[in-house]
Chain A
Amino acid sequence: MKPEDLFSSEVLLWRYVRALACLLLLQVVAPMAVCNLYHTVVAQRILNPITVTTNLLTSCIYPTKLLRLVVPAACFVILARVHIKSYTVSAWVPLNRWEKWRRVLSLTVILRSGLIMIACALLANFYTSLAHPDFPFLVIPCTPGDVMCYKRKTVIIYMGAYVGYHYAYKYFMLNGNLITPTPAHPRKLQLIKASLSLRSTREACNTHGANKLSFLCAICIYMAAAIMINLIYDGNWQEWLVIFDLPLMMMTLLATVLLAISLSLFSQVFHIFITEPVEIPVATAEDSNPEAETDSWRLSNALSSSGLLQLLAFWDLKTLASSDPMNFARRTQVFCISQPGGHPRNWMGIMNPSMNLIRKFCERLKRHNCPEDLPKPPVVPAGAASAPTDVNKNEVLIMSLKRYPFFGYFLSDLPDATNRSIFAEALPVIWAVQALGDLVTASFTEDKFGVVQRNIPDILMAFTQLQKVVDGLGRVTISRRPGTGEALPSELQLRKALRFSLRSALYTVTTTFGDTVLAMPVSAECQSKLQSYLQFKEG
Chain B
Amino acid sequence: MINLEHLHPPPGCGHVTAYENDGRLRALHVTEALETTKKWLGGQFIEVTVGQEPVRTAHSKQEAREAFSAHTETPWQRVMFAYYEEGWEASLQEMIKGKDEGSLYQVASTMASVILKVCGIIAKAQALLPSPKRSGSSANTPLVLRGSGGSIVSVAWHPHTNTLAAVFCDDTVRVFAAGRSITPLLKHRLQKSITHIAWMPYSASLMAVGCECGVLLWTLDPVNVVTRPSGSCVSLLAHPSATPINSLTWHPKGNLFACVGGSNSQLVVWDVGREASVVVHSGTGGNISLVLWSPDSSRLFVAYSSKIMRVFETRSWTYEQWSLESPIQSAVWSSLGHLLLFVTQDDPVLYYLGFIPGEGVGGTQVAAQVADLTQTLVSDEDGEEVSVGGPVKQLAWDIRSERLAIVFRDTEFVVLFHTHTHPTLHLAPGGEPCQVPVSVSFQKNLPNGAVLSVVWSSGQVQHIPMRYSSREPLPSTLNTSTFNTSIRTTHNSILNCSVPLNTSMGYAGSPVTSPLIGGIFTSP
Residue among A180, A322, A479, A482 making CB contact with B297, cutoff 8 Å: A322
Q: Are A180 and B298 in contact (CB under 8 A)?
A: no
A248 within 8 A of B: no
| Given contacts A182-B278, A183-B256, A186-B317, A430 and B161 within 8 Å (CB-CB) | no
Q: Are B269 and A482 in contact (CB under 8 A)?
A: no
Which B residues form the contact surface with A (CB < 8 A)?
160-161, 188, 190, 202-205, 213, 216, 219-224, 231-232, 234-236, 238, 240-241, 252-256, 266, 269-282, 296-298, 313-318, 357-359, 476-481, 483-484
Q: A187 to B313: give the CA distance in the assembly, Å.
A: 12
Residue among B241, B313, B318 making CB contact with A199, cutoff 8 Å: B241
Q: Are A186 and B253 in contact (CB under 8 A)?
A: no
Q: Can you pick out 24 interface pairs between chain A and chain B where the beta carbons lie within 8 Å of each other?
A: A183-B256, A183-B270, A183-B271, A183-B278, A184-B269, A184-B280, A186-B317, A194-B278, A197-B282, A199-B241, A324-B296, A325-B298, A328-B480, A434-B255, A444-B477, A482-B216, A496-B273, A497-B274, A497-B275, A501-B273, A511-B202, A538-B222, A539-B204, A539-B221
| B298 contact set on A, CB distance < 8 A | 324-326
Number of A-B contacts (CB under 8 A): 144
Which A residues form the contact surface with B (CB < 8 A)?
180, 182-187, 190-191, 193-194, 197, 199, 322-326, 328, 430, 434, 438, 441, 444-446, 479, 481-483, 487-488, 493-494, 496-498, 500-501, 503-504, 507-508, 511-512, 536-539
| A538 contact set on B, CB distance < 8 A | 204, 222
Q: A184-B278, A190-B280, A430-B273 are in contact. List 12 more A-B contacts (CB 8 A).
A: A186-B280, A322-B297, A326-B358, A444-B476, A482-B188, A483-B213, A487-B275, A488-B275, A500-B273, A504-B253, A508-B253, A539-B204
Q: A534 to B223: give the CA distance in the assembly, Å.
A: 14
| A494 contact set on B, CB distance < 8 A | 274
**Which of A446, A498, A507 counts the most B-chain CB atoms under 10 A from its CB?**
A507
Q: A479 to B236: give the CA distance in the assembly, Å.
A: 13
Q: Are A326 and B315 in contact (CB under 8 A)?
A: yes
Give the dominant DSSP class at A's interface. helix
| B255 contact set on A, CB distance < 8 A | 434, 501, 504
Q: Are A186 and B278 in contact (CB under 8 A)?
A: yes
Q: A228 to B190: give the CA distance in the assembly, Å.
A: 52
| Given contacts A186-B317, A430-B273, A483-B213, A194 and B282 within 8 Å (CB-CB) | yes
In the A-B complex, the 7 residue pairs with the closest CB atoms: A497-B273, A183-B271, A482-B236, A539-B221, A186-B317, A539-B205, A500-B273
Q: A351 to B297: give the CA distance in the assembly, Å.
A: 24
Q: A326 to B358: give the CA distance in the assembly, Å.
A: 6
| B222 contact set on A, CB distance < 8 A | 536-539
| A507 contact set on B, CB distance < 8 A | 160, 202-204
| A481 contact set on B, CB distance < 8 A | 231
Q: Are B202 and A190 in contact (CB under 8 A)?
A: no
| B238 contact set on A, CB distance < 8 A | 483
> In the complex, what's the smallest C-beta–C-beta distance from B243 to chain A, in angstroms?
11
Q: A468 to B97: give the CA distance in the assembly, Å.
A: 64
| A191 contact set on B, CB distance < 8 A | 278-279
**Which of A185, A193, A324, A493 counts the most B-chain CB atoms under 10 A from its CB?**
A324
The closest CB in chain A to the CB of B478 belongs to: A445
> In the complex, what's the smallest C-beta–C-beta distance from A534 to chain B, in angstroms?
10
The closest CB in chain A to the CB of B318 belongs to: A187
| Given contacts A430-B273, A483-B213, A488-B275, A445 and B476 within 8 Å (CB-CB) | yes
> In the complex, what's the smallest C-beta–C-beta distance from A439 to chain B, in angstroms?
12
> In the complex, what's the smallest C-beta–C-beta distance from B428 to chain A, in angstroms?
31
| A430 contact set on B, CB distance < 8 A | 273
Q: Are B481 and A328 in contact (CB under 8 A)?
A: yes
| Given contacts A186-B281, A324-B297, A446-B480, A180 and B314 within 8 Å (CB-CB) | no
| A328 contact set on B, CB distance < 8 A | 480-481
Residue among A186, A193, A446, A496 making CB contact with B316, cutoff 8 Å: A186
The closest CB in chain A to the CB of B258 belongs to: A184
